[in-house]
Structure 1
């Protein structure tokens, strides 16, 4: 019987046999029954409809950059890597429509050629656009929203293969879909609000933790982008491939220090000297990481940011001194996304990481215990400890999102075990 289903699926929609899948760091994996690699919206629609008709769950992996089980399924596993490129640019309104599998770095290059820039982006740019945006990916900037806040429209493939067009004519639907972790349909195309092309001026330096805390408010207010990595020991910066900024340091210390970064828009031409650099926007934002960490990241209301950082720092220095991956600390403005980590809440994001091959779970749970007391919310693609009850408590529009999800996908084909526990 299984063989017959396989032949039917492959002949009707191009689906292939399944197998093993794992994410980029290897902490999540699944055995899938079918795979699909569409190259057009029409092919994608057919694959989803066929799988739904056979009773298979459907999840899309993007570039596999999530540390959580959001991409896992035992049913149909989709990759949109064959759906790449810009499908249209509205130069007058500075809007760009992009196929969902396009990577962030590819989009940046196309925008540069067309005199445009993303309003903001994160420090990894190899992710597929749809997966990155709809899990809550962000950069830093106290007045800047997460990347999903740039979405002004999208096309969602529904269980029957039809296309749900999402745009500003239905603000509730748009705000529900911006950060939806693939639960409202498979995205085929996204339209983003961009802006005129700009250069960024980046400056790096090192200071003590207390210096950082003293300057925290002023740096956040006076720069478009401000963030830092707190490093408990000298080896910490190597965990994230951070440069040695000793030559521009304000301290002789090598432990319990902050690697600081500020970035601002500039009219100056490109240049690079020491730990100061000017370049096109999307050439400044990214950092190169070796995928050797498993990350937890929560959005903490900004008024609690410094205190949350102090408590996690103290935890690492005392109870967990062998956990040496840096704390990464950034800013993000609130947005209207129903299950966005930043829903109507200006936030800082605080992330820590466990070392692969070690038993880091107790450490991450202790960090969670600290951050949840401040009403913090997770990045959906990074490790967290939320329950269904937490979702109801932390997201004022959680009930509305769940009702919409059930209306669009009553059979729950876009859920998996992880998401069903939180949102079914």
Structure 2
């Protein structure tokens, strides 16, 4: 543990209003600050602790849950971006916590490396994405935080804790997905891979035809995912392309919009007629979303995926026919993170969405009632209905995490009301 002490106290500065990207979470913080270095960050955290203020960090605001909310000090790490160092031989890079995922991809490309996998959105800050369990798709590929092999954490007293997966695997397992409860991440060490290109192919098929191919497509493609669209309008809500020209199904309702991606040696190209393209890995993964939805997403065992999806589909076609946002379905390998939605369990994720301004709670509660029958674990940045009573049964190492959290933050400086209800 390194001491980040400095003589003069930091000025916390004025507070103000904060809202997330879709507008369903907002609050007023007493103080806001945007440090430009780990030293400044440590001084701000130490001063907030001296004043007995709660502390939370805002990433890029992509969480639908109130994980950022605080009445005390709200920190932004947007001035702490960029690649710190790279060990190309070991394929390890150190990045500052506020660095956007897309910027990491561009930096890795320049030095002949790639992320092993990433999610649909690349404008998230890396620390926030790791802390909430953000993921891509691929039955043999872990979530983004499984690529983290080290961190620097600023603790409540301003000291800096270096976490190294090789030396302290348990501490890394706690920090891997921590929802910001252990301290403020200032830098992350990522295990990258040799640079690769991906070939993407898109098409549409009927629901049952897609599920008949479910196991084969998952096993035979590096990445496989799909959106199920109950009506024709569903596709437009997520700006999905019209792939009818290359699809065996000519229907536009009750269909699955399917995507596969595989490593290729082909040169980059894009064919709008065949809906195929090849590009560097981090240029293929992202999707452009309009922030017009509020999302719930749970991870369930991969063997229960098809049955659970059929039940959610039936719910939407019979009881909640006005809920027409696509259902997104992806694959994630198991990992070691104590609070990871995928802890020791190969998973599929099922996500559903409601429209802003619409009362969608009854729909989400009904989806929750279905998925929790399969031991569903939430993506921590997306809407869910878990309580403190659910935690020990869902996360086998929950008590281990709690012991580490209480040791690193005995006063609960990094909790807020939402997290206190789950973890205090």
TM-score (normalised: structure 2): 0.97
Question: What pairs up with 1:80-159 in 2 under 5 angstroms?
Answer: 80-159=77-156
Structure 2: runs of 5+ lacking an equivalent: 1-7
1:96-143 C-alpha deviation (Å, 9 max, x unpaired): 000000000111111111111000000000000000111000000000
SS at match of 1:404: helix
Q: CA deviation at 1:14?
A: 3.7
Question: What pairs up with 1:378-397 in 2 under 5 angstroms?
Answer: 378-397=378-397
Residue in 2 that maps onto 1:318: 318
Residue in 2 that maps onto 1:231: 229
Residue in 2 that maps onto 1:37: 34
SS at match of 1:93: coil
Residue in 1 that maps onto 2:204: 206
Instruction: Tell me the distance in 2 between the aligned counterparts of 1:16 and 1:295.
Output: 33
SS at match of 1:220: helix
Q: CA deviation at 1:45?
A: 0.2
Instruction: Tell me the distance in 1 between the aligned counterparts of 2:240 and 2:301.
Output: 27
Residue in 2 that maps onto 1:63: 60
Residue in 1 that maps onto 2:170: 172
1:162-182 C-alpha deviation (Å, 9 max, x unpaired): 001100200000011000000
Instruction: Tell me the distance in 2 between the aligned counterparts of 1:409 and 1:76.
Output: 16
1:397-423 C-alpha deviation (Å, 9 max, x unpaired): 111111111111011010000000101
Instruction: Tell me the distance in 2 between the aligned counterparts of 1:281 and 1:223.
Output: 15
Instruction: Tell me the distance in 2 between the aligned counterparts of 1:16 and 1:291.
Output: 30
Residue in 2 that maps onto 1:301: 301
Instruction: Tell me the distance in 1 between the aligned counterparts of 2:403 and 2:189.
Output: 25
Instruction: Tell me the distance in 2 between the aligned counterparts of 1:313 and 1:391.
Output: 27
Instruction: Tell me the distance in 1 between the aligned counterparts of 2:11 and 2:145.
Output: 31
Residue in 2 that maps onto 1:268: 266
SS at match of 1:38: coil
Instruction: Tell me the distance in 1 between the aligned counterparts of 2:49 and 2:310.
Output: 49
Q: CA deviation at 1:249?
A: 1.2
Instruction: Tell me the distance in 1 between the aligned counterparts of 2:113 and 2:152.
Output: 23
Residue in 2 that maps onto 1:216: 214
**Aligned pair 1:352/2:349, yes or no?**
no
1:171-211 C-alpha deviation (Å, 9 max, x unpaired): 00001100000000000000000011100000000000011
1:39-70 C-alpha deviation (Å, 9 max, x unpaired): 00000000000001000000001001000000
SS at match of 1:138: coil
Residue in 2 that maps onto 1:403: 403
Instruction: Tell me the distance in 2 between the aligned counterparts of 1:20 and 1:83.
Output: 21
Instruction: Tell me the distance in 2 between the aligned counterparts of 1:53 and 1:13.
Output: 11
SS at match of 2:245: helix
Q: CA deviation at 1:15?
A: 2.2
**Aligned pair 1:342/2:342, yes or no?**
yes
**Aligned-residue CA RMSD (Å):** 0.7
Instruction: Tell me the distance in 1 between the aligned counterparts of 2:416 and 2:221.
Output: 41
Residue in 1 that maps onto 2:3: none
Instruction: Tell me the distance in 2 between the aligned counterparts of 1:226 and 1:216.
Output: 9
Residue in 1 that maps onto 2:280: 280
Instruction: Tell me the distance in 1 between the aligned counterparts of 2:388 and 2:209.
Output: 40
SS at match of 1:84: coil
Residue in 2 that maps onto 1:3: none
Residue in 1 that maps onto 2:245: 247
Instruction: Tell me the distance in 1 between the aligned counterparts of 2:149 and 2:114.
Output: 16
Instruction: Tell me the distance in 2 between the aligned counterparts of 1:320 and 1:222.
Output: 34
Structure 1: runs of 5+ lacking an equivalent: 1-10
State the number of aligned residues: 414
TM-score (normalised: structure 1): 0.97
Instruction: Tell me the distance in 2 between the aligned counterparts of 1:47 and 1:90.
Output: 31
Residue in 1 that maps onto 2:69: 72
